[in-house]
Structure formats: structure tokens, C-alpha cells
Chains A and B, each alone.
Chain A
Amino acid sequence: MTGLVGRGVERVDGRAKVTGAARYAADNEVSGVLHGALVSSTVARGEITELDPSAALASPGVVAVYTHQNLPRLTVPPDFPYPKSFVPLQDARIHHNGQPVAYVVAETLEQAQEAATLVRVRYRAERPTAHLVDALDEAFLPDEFRGRPNEHVRGDAAATLDQAEVRIEREYTSPTQHHNPIEPHTTTAVWNGNSLVLHESAQGVVLARKIVADAFAAFDPRPDVRVVSRYLGGGFGAKGPTWPHTLLTAAVARQARRPVRLVLTRAQMFTMTGHRAEYRRSLRLGATRTGRLTAVVDTSTAQLSRTEHSIFNSSDSTLHLYACPNVHVRQLGVRLDLPTSSYMRSPETTAHFGLETAMDELSYEVGIDPVELRVRNLNPRLPYRGKHLLECYRLAGRAFGWARRDPRPGSMCEGEEHVGWGMATELHTYNANASTAELVVGMDGRATLRTASQDIGTGTYTVVTQVVADGLGLPLDHVTTLLGDTAFPAASISAGSSTIPSVIGPVSQAARGARDAVVAIAVADPRSPLHGVPAGDVVTEHGYLFARGDRDRRDTYRAVLSRHGRPVELTGSTRNTPGHTFGAVFVEVRVRRRLGSVRVSRVVAAYDPGRVLNHRTARGQVIGGVAWGIGFALMEHTVVDPNTARVVNPNLSTYLVPVCADVPPVEAIFVDRPDPSSNALDARGFGETPGTGVPAAIGNAIFHATGRRLRDVPFTQDRLL
């Protein structure tokens, strides 16, 4: 151990990224590649009655136009990671606006795009339903999804609520949102005989391989599939599942007998992949006059599609965060004529926004400081061992200056601005998946780590390199980390903050094992200055092996292995347990009194992610998460036309996300104490924790500033007039 773990090491792939040397999925040069362009439906519900590709086929450079009339039948992959219950271009049915209806393949991208505009499609259209408010009476309790029930009962919430001394009954809503990573979804399919290589923008190459193989299950022989995703220009959950365009590209390339590349347009990213579902939440809290929660009735309604019943707006915070003996959670759904929803950073945010706003409303109802109210209700059995959430409240509150807050709404004014302070708890449930890593220490004394997990922009290359270098006692630049390829040992998807908790265990296991193996070789080798030293007395640092008591007795990795004559190879394989990571966020807002515009002017947040493996990348997650929270609170909103169920703002010019000027300096504090219950060097999953509480904290601060309680995001200025 050389103290590399925890240090804010700069990104090992930073130079490659800023110089353009890093090849993202669509950057790979593939000789003979054809370019694809998708034609998408302009109705939300109905049937294709006529599809005429003749003008497109006659257009220069066009090789083929594939539709439901000529594409071979694929198998619908059965498991969730393929989120849809159908594959498009297999029949004439239209399930949502923007569904692919034709796939044009041409010699150049421009030719494909132009030809796509020439495919004539006629529909028999039925009237769609686009918004929850138009079909609330059709809400139902869906069957369990991915093994999780949609109803949870503890005690008798309804009866207790009726008896409660204090009741808060409110409704909170949030709109459809889209992930919008900068890098669009892209697939390049290269067939060689029965082998298929997919260069894919994927957060999970192993799952993608399985889904693609499942889609070709009826083909004989079944293809060998390899999925490669070395770098990702952002995912946020969008690229966690595998979407139809990937399957279609593989099928089309097989038909065309040429490699085919497809890059979704920004507009297609709003209909051909997933989104965060429109959501309403009715929350009824019962409490004592002293602020103790006695009952929570939590009934949410999320958008479902006609074809699936996937619910991702987890109510975990209602179930786990606060101690309450009587809880009734129901997660209802309404089927609308929209694309399938999916998970989006951070899935809890929608539900958590309601709970953390309701807690603020309760704090005013009972006259108890919002932090104190949360402390009083803290679940003594928070589902992890180290309980440092109290420390988060204390650290962030002190740094923010919370003790100086006058709780009366409108109590702080500066010139034309109302100033408000609000806070919320942050909470995220992270996953952990069985993972394997393979480490080779070569005869040149350099190490190469391979694992089929991914770096989705969060810093996995860097942290894994740190852990390997630290475990072996090598300099960072003697370690190469290779990720994102199903040719490597199977490992976790990078979603649900699962990468670190899943892969650090096997990586450190392999590193320590390899170190011990090299030490054993050295002390057994008569040619080594360390010959005969007990293995336990050998220290490894900076590529050297030292005798602990006599540092002049030393050897090097390179010398030991070159004498040994072959590399040392070790495989690590572990499974960690999922869990929860908590934090606290405090924000200051400024509201222009007459105009209603809101500006977030200060954010302080503290977190307990267990041991922090890299302070720089962890802080990056806080800044990014806070920016997401600001976007959720103040602007993000996919506009769906109420009559056509078509997205009206499918681009970054009208789907607003925060710009730098919207995001104030963010002070990030880490408790940074090891969590021994995690086998990932005492680190828990963290990435998606920051931001979960930010929308509520902003709304709570707006209430403090103005006395106006906002319960529907985004809080655009018209809501404060």
C-alpha cells in the first residue's frame, strides 16, 4: 500500500480525451462501413398502411431500405435489460411517436440521411393519450417489476393517519425528462462469418452482448457476439439498457453483408431510447406535535407504455430513510401512448423530491427546524453499518451557516431579491454485481488489468489504475487498465452507481494476489537480493520490493519477473452487496421579487460514501449531481404534445439543461470513513447520490425566501408570479 487510494489522482485518460486520441464508439475506423439513417413514425398509435421506399432506393448512394416488409424476424429479448416487449420493423403496428419504421443504408451518412426523408409512409392513426392527467382514472397497481413489488405495507398507515395530531397531505409532480448525454447513442456492427463485433455506446457491454445474442436466438448457427465500449460520452442510464436500434443495426449489417454504423440524431434520442417517466405523487404524512412521523401513505402514479409496465421511480426513501411504524406505499401506473420509460440518474429523485418537500412542510407545521426534524426521525436501523448521516447534517450545516437561519419565510432580503435557505437529505440505492478482473504483471514489470466493466465518464479507468498500482506497489504509469470489452472477464454494468462497489473488490483482490505471488517468487529466487526474506517482511513500493528492516536489500518487479521468465497472472472475483449512500445538501436561492426568477447562489453538501477512493472524481460527481438537481428543479422538461403525443422539444436548444451560469460554486464535504461492510476497499457506491435531494432543497429554499410552496417541477418563473 503506497497511499495512492484516496488521493485525488488526475484522470489517467484525461490527455487522451482532450487530445482526441480517445476513440469513442463511432470514432472507430471500419473499412467498408455503410451508414444508416432511421425513418421514424409521425403518429403515436396506429398502423402503417403503406410504405413506399422507391424514391429512397433511387437516391444516390443508397444500398438498401429495410422495413417490416423485408427485415428477417428477430426474437424479442426476454429480460429487462432489453426494456421493450417488441422489436420495431417487425410488423406494421405503431406503439409511440418516433418509433423506427424504416432503416436506410447508404454509402455516406449524408446520402442515408437524405434518402431517409424520401421514404413515404402512410398510417392509420388512432388518437393517443399523452399525459397522466388525461387518464388518471385508468391508474392501476402493476405486477411486480424486476422482482420488486409495487406495494409495501408496514403497520396500519391509514388508521394511524386518521388519528394523527398533525397531517400533511400534498401532491407533487414531475414531468418527463430525457438523459441527453452529449455523445449520442451509436452502434457499428461488423460481421465476420458468424462472428459479430459491435462498437457500441454502452454502459454495460456484458448485458448488451446477451441481449443481442438473444435477439438472434432463432438464427442457426447462433452468432458469436462481442461488444466493445471503450469510452462513453455520458450515459446517465440512457445507455444502460440495449435499445432496438442496436438490434436493428446488427440485423441490417447481416443482411447488407457490410459493416453498418448508426448514430441516433438528437431528436431520435427522445423516442428510440428511454426517459424518466412523468410522475405524480400523493403523500400523506401523519406526525405528533413533536414532529415524530407516525404514518406515511405514499401513492404515486407513473407513466407506463401500452407495451410494458416498467416502474423506476423507487420509493426507497419512504421505506428506509425515516423511522415510521406505519407505511403504505403504492406505485401505480397509467398506460400512455409513449415510449418505454427507463432509469435515469438518479431514479429516486422523483419520489425523494416529494418526501423531502413534505418533510419541510411538516417542519413548518410543527415549528421544528428542518434538520432537527430529520434527526428526530432518523431510522436507527439505516440499512448500512456506519451511520454517518448525522455527521453529514452537522458538517454541511456548519459549513453553510445554517445556525444563523431565521426560519420565517421572507425574512431575508437583499435589494430586489428574496434570499432563502433550504436543505434536504440525499439518498441513493446503489447496486453491486458479481464481477471478475484479470491482472497480468509482465516481464517488463508493468501491469495490465482487464475487466468488462466500463468507464462512463466517471473516472473508472483512474480509480482502477490507482487500486492496482497501490495493491502492487507500482507507479501509476506502470499500470494499464483496459475496460469495456466482452473479450475481458465479465463484470458489472455501469449503472446504479454499481461500478466501484462491484469491480474494486476483484481488482484489489487480483492486485494483492499478484503482489504476493511476485514476492513469493522473489524470496524463493537465489538470484534475488531478497532471497530468504520472509514474504511478510517484504514491502512493495514504486516498482521496488524492499526488505522491511533493511531497505538496501531490494529488487524490482521487472528484475524479479524477467528472471522468472513468464508473467504473473491473477484473477479476482467477488460479489459485493447492494446498499444505500446518504448525504445532506444545503442551498441558498435568490428570487427576484416581482419577476419570480430563481437563481441558486450557494450549495454546500456532505456525504458518507464510505471510504473515498479518489477525492477528485468523487467531487466531480457532486458538482455534476448538483447541476442535475438544479436542472430538475428549475428547467428540465420534455414537452409532449397533448394531441399527438409527439415530443415538441427534442433538441438541446429547447430541452434546457443548466449552463455554467446556472450552477454556483459547490462545496463538497466527505465524511470519508471506511465502511467495512463493503468489500470494495470499504467504499460504497456513490455517484448518483448527489443531486437526489437538490430539487427539494431548492423548493424548500424558495419557500423560505418567498413563502410560496412549489410542488411541481420545473419551478419556472411563471409559477412564482
Chain B
Amino acid sequence: MRNFGYTVARNPADAVRFAAGTPNSTFVAGGTDLLNLMRDGAEAHDHLVDVNRLGLDGIALDGAALRIGALARMRQVAEHREVRREFPVLSQALLASASPQVRNMAAIGGNLLQRTRCGYFRDPGSPCNKRVPGSGCPAIDGYNRGHAILGGSDHCIATHPSDLAVALTALDATVHLLGPDGTRAIPITELHLLPGATPHRETARRRGELITRVDVPRTGAAARSRYLKLRDRATFEFAVVSVAAALRLDGRTVRDVRLAFGGVGTRPWRDSRVEAALRGRSLTHPAIEAAGRVLVRDAEPREGNVFKVELVQRALASVLAELGGLR
């Protein structure tokens, strides 16, 4: 790891101005991903701008939305009483993430911007189109058990690792950004980009832009939500497959359903066609199975991850059956 400069920003505007004006700089909050990336040689920065003291760590619930400051720690959000009551899927996704030590350190904004766990990406001795554009993707013909079956391209099939992002995607969250040109807000579904031919471009964030807040709208479905995470050991491991689901029933009829998937897509995966296959219908096993088939209709599995096609459908069935009280 090479030497780098370090500046503690005192307010959001200073942080953004400083970052935009400093070549090869980046923000650091908890540092739980960034420091590993720098140590492993997957990223190199000349300057870090510490954003921990910007006062952006509040969590508030009003009539319209839950408003999570981007510097709130994962643990604060996971343990927040109203989050647990009104948005259980958020709390569950966070508690299923990482370890207690990491959750104490890692901030919400950084969680959304964490980088893929693809082993080729994290190894500077391997080619990777995401790390070195044009160098190639060894995962496509190599080891791809952890990789995406949806949203991939000939250039990259890496998954996005955040559980929180999957839950926020299901709940239609909005991401607020502050940049040198002012503030803007984008739906979380537009934050992460498909890899296409430019897998090194991962988010819609512009140069110097800082995530300041994430808003999650209050909906009837959010309160009846759940996160199911399947992984290769009991804790402290990323998802093989995960499902964030929110469900509102009217009798047996699905009035509202929100679904997002982790471990299967190159970004937190949401497909409105899956929800449309359920909305307005009676929640039955055949209906759920039909929705699952819609989800994987465009799947492009590889040798190592073909099992995810089946597993994600079963995970969806399991979580909806539980939320909907089906046996």
C-alpha cells in the first residue's frame, strides 16, 4: 500500500469541494472495505477524505419516510426500534451482514458503494475488466460459483455484495447525493449500473459526489417484510443467494409485493415483471412458482453458478410462503 494523504472534512460542502479538487482521492468512512481494497492492491488512492465528522449519522422516521444519514453505522440502523418495527427487512439484512465488529464501523453510504467480492477483482495478479478495463474477465470461463446469473455481460459477471442494498432496492429507497454542482436524488435502482462494456463504471455517482442520506418510503408492505440470506457458513459471509421481500395481502390476494434479490445479479436485482406476476393474484404455491420462473427467464448461468437458477426460485418460494402464511 503506498503512502496517501488524509484530510478530515468538517462539513459536507467542504468534503465534496475538497474531493472534487483533489486528484485520485476518495472518501473514507468506516474503511472496512476500502482499507482491504488498498492493502490488496485492488485500489490505490493518493488522498483519503474522512467523512466521519459531517454530522450525517441521524436516523429519523416521519410520516412519509425513514431517513437514514449516510454516515449512520450499520449497527445503529439494524438496532433502531422503528426500523425493526416498520422495516424489518432492513434490520434483518443488516444483521445478516458481516460481523458485529464490522457493523460497528461500517457506514450506510459506504455499504452501498462496497465493491464486489469476485476473487479475480480483488487479486491484482489476475486480469479483471472492472479493475483494469480491457484486461479480460477470467471468471466467465473460470471459477464463477459466486457470480451473477442475471445482468452480466461478456465483460463482467460479478455480483454486488451488499445485503442492505438488496433490502433498500425492494423498498424503493431514494439516494441523496451532494456534489460540487449541488444536491440530487436518484432511486436506488439507478445507483448501481449494469456492467455492459464498462464494468469499471459501477455507480451513477459523479466525481466528488457524496451520498448524504437514504430515504425509505413508508408503505404497508414494508412493515411485513423479510430478508432471507443463504450462504456457505452460518455468519460472516456474503450471500450465495438472498431475497428481500415485502408483502401486503388482502385476504389471500396480493395487494402489494416488492422483491429484490442478492447474489444472483450484477447489481441488487429487481424485476418488476416478477412482482406483476403476483400482484392482484391469490398467493398460492403455483403463483409463486410462476413468478420464480419469470425471475430466471433471462438467466445466463455458467458452469459454476447454474444451481442458483433453482436455488433463487426456492428461496423466493420459501420467503413468500413464510410472509404469506402458506404451508
Q: Decide: B119 and A595 in contact? CB cutoff 8 A.
A: no
Docked-complex contact B125 and A110, CB < 8 angstroms: no
Give the interface residue-count category, chain B. Answer: 20 to 34
Besides the known contacts A642-B143, A716-B232, 8 further A-B residue pairs in the complex with CB atoms under 8 A apart: A641-B126, A641-B138, A646-B125, A648-B142, A649-B119, A659-B236, A717-B230, A717-B232
Instruction: Tell me which of B143, B235, B307, B317 contacts A641 (CB under 8 A).
Output: B143
B125 touches A42 (CB 8 A): yes
A223: min CB distance to chain B, Å: 34
Is A48's beta carbon under 8 Å from chain B?
no
Q: Is the CB of A658 within 8 A of B233?
A: yes
Q: Is A721 in contact with B125, judged by CB distance below 8 angstroms?
A: no
- Whole-angstrom distance between the alpha carbons of A279 and B124 in the complex? 29
- Residues of B at the A interface (CB closer than 8 Å) are 1-3, 36, 40-41, 117, 119-120, 122-126, 138, 141-143, 230, 232-237, 240, 307-308, 310-311, 314-315, 317-318
Chain A residues, CB < 8 A from B119: 639, 648-649, 654
- Nearest Cβ on chain B to A241's Cβ, whole angstroms: 25
Check if B233 sits within 8 Å of A659, measured CB to CB: yes
CA distance A595 to B3 in the complex (A): 47
Instruction: Provide the residues of chain B in CB contact with A42, threshold 8 Å.
Output: 125-126
| Nearest B-chain residue to A718, judged by Cβ | B307
Which of A599, A650, A653 makes the CB contact (< 8 A) with B123?
A650
Q: Provide the residues of chain A in CB contact with B126, threshold 8 Å.
A: 42, 641, 644, 646, 648
Cβ of A139 under 8 Å from chain B: no
A656 to B231, CA, bound (A): 11
A-B contact pairs, 11 of them (CB 8 A): A114-B3, A594-B318, A597-B230, A641-B126, A641-B138, A642-B141, A643-B138, A648-B120, A648-B143, A661-B234, A718-B307
Contact A110 B3, beta carbon cutoff 8 Å: yes
Number of A positions contacting B (CB below 8 A) = 38
CB pair B234–A110 under 8 Å, yes or no, is: no
B237 touches A721 (CB 8 A): no
A203 to B36 Cα, complex, angstroms: 30
Of A117, A643, A661, the contact of B142 (CB 8 Å cutoff): A643
Q: Which residues of B have CB within 8 Å of A642?
A: 141-143
A644 touches B138 (CB 8 A): yes
A40 touches B (CB below 8 Å)? yes
Those 10 A-B pairs whose CB atoms lie nearest each other, nearest first:
A661-B234, A718-B307, A648-B119, A42-B125, A114-B2, A662-B234, A661-B235, A641-B142, A648-B143, A594-B314
Chain A residues within an 8 Å CB radius of B138: 641, 643-644
Seen from chain A, the residues whose Cβ lies within 8 Å of a Cβ on chain B are 40, 42, 97-98, 110, 113-114, 117, 267, 594-597, 599, 634-635, 639, 641-644, 646, 648-651, 653-654, 656, 658-659, 661-662, 714, 716-718, 721
| A651 to B124 CA separation, bound complex (whole angstroms) | 14
Does more than half of chain A's interface fall in helix, strand or loop, or is it mixed? loop
Q: Are A662 and B310 in contact (CB-based, < 8 A)?
A: no
Structural contact, A656 and B237, CB atoms closer than 8 A: yes
Q: Considering the chains assembled together, what is the distance between the CA atoms of A117 and B38 in angstroms?
A: 12
Residue contact B232 to A635, C-beta cutoff 8 Å: yes
Are A721 and B310 in touch, CB under 8 angstroms? yes
A residues in contact with B317, CB < 8 Å: 594
Question: Which among B141, B230, B233, B308 is the interface contact of A643 at CB below 8 angstroms?
Answer: B141
Complex CA distance for A221 and B326, rounded to whole angstroms: 81
- The answer to whether A659 and B234 have CB atoms under 8 Å apart is yes
Contacts of A658 on B, CB cut-off 8 Å? 233
- B240 contact set on A, CB distance < 8 A: 717-718
Q: Which residue from chain B places its CB closest to the CB of A97 in the assembled complex?
A: B125
Report the separation of the CA atoms of residues A97 and B138 in the bound assembly, to the nearest whole angstrom: 15
- In the bound complex, what is the Cα–Cα distance between A651 and B41 (angstroms)? 14
Measured CA separation A654–B318 after assembly (Å):
27
Shortest CB distance A632–B (Å):
13
A40-B1 in contact (CB<8A): no
Decide: A595 and B120 in contact? CB cutoff 8 A: no
Tell which of A113, A594, A721 touches B307, judged by Cβ atoms closer than 8 Å. A721
Q: Which residue of B lies closest to A600 (CB)?
A: B234
CB-CB under 8 A from B2, the residues of chain A are 114, 117
A639's contact among B40, B143, B235, B311, by CB below 8 Å, is which?
B143
B182 CB, min distance to chain A CBs, angstroms: 38
A641, A644, A661, A714, most chain B CB atoms within 10 A: A641
Find B235's partner among A98, A648, A659, A718 (CB 8 Å cutoff): A659
- Say whether A599 contacts B117, CB under 8 Å: no
Closest to B317 in A: A594
Query: From residue B292, how far is it (CB to closest CB) to chain A in Å?
Result: 12
Among B124, B233, B240, B307, the one with the most A-chain Cβ atoms within 10 Å of its Cβ is B233
Roughly how many angstroms separate A102 CA and B305 CA in the complex, as a whole number?
A: 37
Closest Cβ of chain A to B296, distance in Å, is 14
Q: Are B117 and A653 in contact (CB under 8 A)?
A: yes
Shortest A327–chain B CB gap in Å is 37
Given A594-B317, A648-B119, are A656 and B232 also a contact pair (CB < 8 Å)? Answer: yes
CA distance A622 to B1 in the complex (A): 40
Interface centre among B36, B317, B318 (most CB of A within 10 A): B318
Task: Give the CA-CA distance A110 to B1 in the complex, in Å.
Answer: 7
Report A107 CB to chain B, min CB distance, Å.
13
- Which residues on B sit within 8 Å (CB–CB) of A662? 233-234
Which residues on A sit within 8 Å (CB–CB) of B142?
A: 641-644, 648
Q: In whole angstroms, how far apart are the Cα atoms of A119 and B143 in the complex? A: 28
A40, A114, A594: the one within 8 Å of B125 (CB): A40
CA distance A117 to B44 in the complex (A): 12
Q: In the bound complex, do residue B235 and residue A721 qualify as a contact, i.e. CB atoms below 8 Å apart?
A: no
- How far is it, in angstroms, between the C-alpha of A718 and the C-alpha of B146 when the chains are bound? 12
CB distance from A178 to the nearest CB of B (A): 14
Count chain A CB atoms within 10 A of each CB in B143, B240, B310 and give the residue with the most.
B143
Complex Cα–Cα for A639 and B126 (A) = 14
A634: which B residues are within 8 A, CB to CB?
A: 232-233
Q: In this complex, what residue of B is CB-closest to A596?
A: B311
List, in ascending order, chain B residues with CB within 8 A of A654's CB. 117, 119
CA distance A658 to B141 in the complex (A): 29
**CB-defined contacts of A639 to chain B, threshold 8 Å:** 119, 143
